[in-house]
Amino acid sequence: MRLVLLVTLALSAVYAVNLPPSCIKPVYCNSKLLHHVQMSKIYNDSKTFVDLHMKNDENSTLAAFDELLKETNDNPSEEQIRKFVNEYFDEDSELEAWTPPDYNPEPVFLEGIRDEKLRKFGKNVNDIWPILGRKVKSEVFENPDRFSLIPVNNGFIIPGGRFKELYYWDTYWIIEGLLISGMKDTVKGVIGNLITLLKTLGHVPNGSRWYYQERSQPPLLTAMMSLYIQKTNDFEFLKENINDIEGELKYWLDKQVITFQANRRTHTLLRYYAPSEGPRPESYYEDYNNAQLFDTPEQQRQFYIDIKSAAESGWDFSTRWFMNKEGNNNGNLSTIHTTEIIPVDLNSIFANALQNVAIFHGLLKNPRRASHWAYLATKWRNSIKEILWNKEDGIWYDWDLTNQIHRKYFYPSNLAPLWLDAVDKSFVKINAPRILEWLSKSHSLDYPGGVPTSLFRSGEQWDFPNAWPPLVSVVVNSLEALDTKESLQIAFKVAQSWVRACYTGFTETKQMFEKYDVETPGRVGGGGEYTVQSGFGWSNGVILEFLAKYGGKMTLYDSTDDTLSVNGPEKRVIVKRGSKVESKK
């Protein structure tokens, strides 16, 4: 009861204070113009409008639209809105194509790939980097107030498809792939761009658009810097940016931390929390309509906070964030309660970030600051163990703040403490058999097309039957961290199945996609608010990760007979298809 009271008081405090708009740019975040354009549905994708740039300054654009509202009694037609947008906005891209200077069409890692066809696949994926390379045009720097894009100085790799800007957590796997491709200078520039965004906003935003101002994404900047330093020993770059990197951790400690009671003790961990007014600008129509399901302004406001907080997680959207009155994950977007959940992956990433900064200060010979961050890292790891580890099941689960219970469902994020070394090695050694047993009982690794994001067929894109490349990477690295003969064999098997599945899809379409279907190897995933996107930055990075790591023994086929499925004999394809999957409407 006391915890429920604390949560209630916290929510009351939110309602008592006026929330900020999604950003400081009214045209893109908080205006009658935004509302009318998005609700008119002149574009199928709400992101299209907020990615346009103004032909004139913001004040004159807003004033002109106010005149239109007066002329039409606040009720402009769809055609009038379309005409206004065509007159006052421009759809020309703010970015120009950019080929990274250090791009190498024959990177060294290809030499270590045993299978000829997989070697060719690796080369094809490496060749996508220049296709996704972008640089901000000079006119964005000359007239920054006319764009939703936040300008950054260095070239970068976009995810692909509708995602035409720099994204935060995508960049971790993009950087992994770039480093494997030997593109260290490009990586340095990309990290520099993220630090520019950090300096501009006080945190790294969801993406390099102003309408993402009030939300971040999983804080992987220190992990990116760690990958770069391991490859380059560029301590001068680290020294130049260490204060800003510390600043991001302080942002999370200041804005996202929550103190709560559980098991008769007080604990402090992170949750995703993105409080700002109104719908997400890039999904305005969808959010506004969904908010009409609620009876009161307070409920609508909380819905907007929870929907943005789920977007901050990167898992937009999933049963992982659904919580009905009984506390389980049945429901739909009307039961989203992201801010009432303590996520395993967020806190594991943050524990790793704290440790990374401690290591960075050690490298820079700042022992006092290193000790401070190391202490916090130890404290965070202990809290993860005390709150998120489930002794009975032998796995980590998200924590339900309202009901004070573990959310006992399979998601790849359950393994995140292993992925980023957020758990003591002695603890791992003792519990490795139990973790493997839990995985086996879940049947989550039995699908021919990858590791499912959940075992619930909800229609949301971060649920079954979709497999997302970063989560497959998390699972493989977590299995490796268990460091048993069995776990290492399973890690290789999962990685090989994923490469084979993506090879099948690429052979058929000549494209890499952001997500795939676990039931049919190589088939693109579905669900969610938009059509499947091709490109695709983190998909490329994970393929290169697995090829670089396992290419010496990985094969495309289990047999020398090339007529077989890439997943081997027929019995391999039918194992556990659909097992343990629940349909959720």
Give the per-residue pLDDT at 325: 87
Q: What sign does the CA torsion over 81, 82, 83, 88 have?
A: positive
CA distance 496 to 473: 12
Tokens found for residue 444: 């989550």
Beta strands per DSSP E along 376-425: 389-390, 395-396, 398-400, 405-407
CA distance 537 to 160: 7
Closest CA to 454 of 286, 329, 269: 329
Give the per-residue pLDDT at 13: 43
Averaged over 533-549, what is the pLDDT? 97
CA distance 213 to 215: 6
Residue 555 burial by CB count (10 A; 0-12/13-18/19+): exposed, middle or buried?
middle
Q: How many CB atoms lie within 10 A of CB 116?
A: 9
Q: pLDDT at residue 3 above 70?
A: no
CA distance 469 to 549: 16
Residue 513 burial by CB count (10 A; 0-12/13-18/19+): exposed, middle or buried?
buried
Does residue 60 lie within any of the structural domains? yes
Show Cβ contacts of residue 280 under 8 Å, excluding neighbours closer than 6 positions: 22, 211, 287, 304, 307, 308, 311
Alpha helices in 461-579 (DSSP H): 469-482, 485-509, 537-550, 570-574
Give the per-residue pLDDT at 263: 85
Q: How many CB atoms lie within 10 A of CB 534?
A: 16
Q: How many domains does the chain have?
A: 1
Positions marked active-site: 316, 514
Does residue 19 lie within any of the structural domains? no
Q: What is the dihedral of CA 259, 260, 265, 266, to 10 degrees?
A: 10
Give the per-residue pLDDT at 17: 62
CB 89 within 8 A of CB 96: no
* Domain residue limits at 87: 31-96
Averaged over 231-236, what is the pLDDT? 98
Residue 584: band (very low, low, confident or very high) from pLDDT cuts 50, 70, 90: low
pLDDT digits (tens, 9 = 90+) for 500-516: 999 999 999 999 999 99
Does residue 246 lie within any of the structural domains? no
pLDDT digits (tens, 9 = 90+) for 296-345: 999 999 999 999 999 999 999 999 999 998 889 999 999 999 999 999 99
Does residue 40 lie within any of the structural domains? yes
Q: pLDDT at residue 430 above 60?
A: yes
CA distance 449 to 518: 4
Question: pLDDT above 70 covers what percent of the chain?
Answer: 92
Mean pLDDT value across the chain: 93
Does residue 67 lie within any of the structural domains? yes
3-state secondary structure of 526: coil
Residue 570: band (very low, low, confident or very high) from pLDDT cuts 50, 70, 90: very low
Give the per-residue pLDDT at 583: 56
Q: pLDDT at residue 15 above 90?
A: no
Q: How many CB atoms lie within 10 A of CB 374?
A: 18
Give the per-residue pLDDT at 12: 39
**Which strands form 341-342's sheet, in the order they lie side by side?**
341-342, 398-400, 405-407
Q: How many CB atoms lie within 10 A of CB 266?
A: 8
CB 499 within 8 A of CB 554: yes
For residue 5, give the DSSP letter: H
| Region of poorest pLDDT, from 126-135, 176-185, 558-567 | 558-567
CB 172 within 8 A of CB 213: no
Give the per-residue pLDDT at 16: 44
pLDDT digits (tens, 9 = 90+) for 447-498: 999 999 999 999 999 999 999 999 999 999 999 999 999 999 999 999 999 9
pLDDT digits (tens, 9 = 90+) for 388-428: 999 999 999 999 999 999 999 999 999 999 999 999 999 99
In the chain, the N- to C-terminal Cα span, in Å, equals 31
Give the per-residue pLDDT at 432: 98
| Region of poorest pLDDT, from 116-130, 323-337, 526-540, 549-563 | 549-563
Q: pLDDT at residue 97 above 50?
A: yes
Does residue 483 lie within any of the structural domains? no
Closest CA to 504 of 486, 522, 523, 489: 522
Query: Nearest 5 degrees, angle CA 422-CA 428-CA 429?
Result: 150
Give the per-residue pLDDT at 530: 82
Give the per-residue pLDDT at 582: 57
Question: pLDDT above 90 covers what percent of the chain?
Answer: 90
Give the per-residue pLDDT at 5: 34
335: left (phi over 0), alpha (psi -120 to 50) or beta: alpha
Q: How many CB atoms lie within 10 A of CB 18?
A: 7
Closest CA to 217 of 199, 201, 200, 205: 205
Beta strands per DSSP E along 325-428: 341-342, 389-390, 395-396, 398-400, 405-407
Q: How many CB atoms lie within 10 A of CB 461?
A: 21
Averaged over 95-112, what is the pLDDT? 98
Give the per-residue pLDDT at 532: 85
CB-based burial, 200-237: b 16+ in 10 Å, e otherwise: bbbbbbbbbbbbbbbbbbbbbbbbbbbbbbeeeeeeeb
Q: Which helix H or strand E contains 456, and what residues bound it?
A: strand 456-457
pLDDT digits (tens, 9 = 90+) for 118-141: 999 999 999 999 999 999 999 999
CA distance 538 to 217: 15
| DSSP states of 16-63 | HSPPPPS-S-HHHHSSHHHHHHHHHTSSSSHHHHHTSEESS-HHHHHH
